[in-house]
């Protein structure tokens, strides 16, 4: 059981980088970007192909991150320049990325990198940790770096423009800020983190799969909501970023426990959907209960 929980934590911190990307669009920019499922797989596919070409694994991560950013940039262009609704622009990009990801993988559904040295194998040799624990360590390091970067960026004047665009786009546009460029930057940055997360997952699993991003947006939204349930009393932006990663870790722990209880792996999509429904409905139930209690006390 302990091994399953540690494995879930390792998966959670790696997927947590993706959740930080979704946090940018969903919570800061107030944009529904569905590119996620495609750009996540793109990051993984690009990492696998570049790693097989004997390129340094750290450079492979950077290339995969850039590839994810390109996916987001395309969605941003469709939304801001072509005036396609964000949700539809993301769907269109995601749809096209399936074919592109297959091309990247050489028309194969999956590609193995089992015999390739990666950042995780380097950490495993350096620390004498098992591969899964070294993967968890890499995820923790990268998550901390991403949280510090986002906290620093969004604390600047430019970061204030990003946050203002999500809060009141008309107002910030009236002040002379080009909100289209802000959205383009935000969606690109979001998918850079998502591509990076996909690349690290390939490092962890030792293979890339064209469908590895399936359900990623659902996992991300569930993680953000779960994190908010536990940290909703804190208004500090850094804690809000941390709560998203924490929510992702908790999400994967719940999945691991459910599997240990005897459910099949094929049921995971249904289980994930149920977890998301509970996570989204919980704040509403709590608010209704609070209102009833206040009404009862007033009576």
Instruction: Give the model confidence (pLDDT) of 249-296 as tens digits.
Output: 988 888 888 777 777 767 777 777 777 787 777 777 777 887 787 766
- For residue 134, give the CATH number of its domain: 1.10.3470
CA distance 83 to 106: 34
Q: Is residue 122 part of a domain?
A: no
- Range 96-116 average pLDDT: 91
**180: nearest Cα among 159, 165, 163, 160:** 165
Q: Is residue 153 part of a domain?
A: yes
Q: Is residue 56 part of a domain?
A: yes
Enter the tokens of residue 118.
């990666």
Q: Is residue 118 part of a domain?
A: no
Q: Is residue 121 part of a domain?
A: no
Mean pLDDT for all residues in the chain: 88
Q: Is residue 123 part of a domain?
A: no
Q: Is residue 119 part of a domain?
A: no
Q: Is residue 231 part of a domain?
A: yes
What pTM value is reported for the model?
A: 0.91
The three-class DSSP label of residue 129 is coil
Q: What is the pLDDT of residues 44-62, one digit of tens each?
A: 999 999 999 999 999 999 9
Q: Using DSSP, how many helices (H) and how many strands (E) does the chain show?
A: 12, 2
Domain that holds residue 283: 2-111+128-298
What's the number of domains the chain is made of?
1
């Amino acid at each position: 059981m302990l091994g399953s929980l540690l494995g879930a934590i390792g998966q959670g911190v790696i997927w947590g980088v993706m959740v930080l990307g979704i946090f940018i669009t969903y919570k800061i920019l107030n944009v529904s970007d569905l590119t996620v499922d495609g750009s996540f797989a793109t990051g993984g596919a690009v990492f696998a192909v570049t790693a097989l070409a004997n390129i340094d694994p750290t450079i492979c991560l950077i290339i995969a991150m850039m590839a994810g950013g390109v996916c987001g940039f395309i969605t941003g262009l469709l939304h801001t320049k072509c005036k396609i609704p964000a949700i539809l622009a993301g769907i269109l990009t995601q749809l096209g990325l399936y074919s592109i990801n297959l091309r990247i993988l050489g028309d194969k559904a999956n590609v193995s990198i089992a015999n390739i040295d990666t950042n995780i194998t380097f950490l495993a040799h350096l620390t004498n940790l098992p591969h899964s624990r070294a993967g968890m360590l890499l995820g923790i390091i990268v998550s901390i770096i991403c949280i510090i970067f986002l906290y620093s960026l969004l604390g600047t004047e430019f970061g204030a423009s990003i946050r203002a665009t999500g809060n009141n786009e008309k107002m910030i546009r009236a002040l002379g800020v080009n909100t289209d460029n802000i959205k383009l930057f935000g969606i690109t940055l979001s998918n850079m983190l998502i591509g990076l997360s996909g690349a690290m997952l390939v490092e962890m699993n030792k293979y890339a799969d064209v469908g590895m991003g399936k359900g990623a947006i659902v996992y991300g939204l569930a993680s953000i909501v779960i994190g908010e349930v536990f940290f909703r009393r804190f208004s500090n932006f850094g804690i809000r970023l941390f709560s998203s990663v924490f929510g992702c870790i908790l999400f994967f722990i719940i999945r691991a426990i459910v599997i240990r209880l005897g459910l099949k792996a094929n049921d995971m999509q249904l289980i994930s959907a149920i977890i998301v429904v509970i996570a989204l409905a919980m704040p509403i139930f709590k608010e209704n209960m609070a209102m009833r209690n206040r009404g009862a006390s007033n009576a």
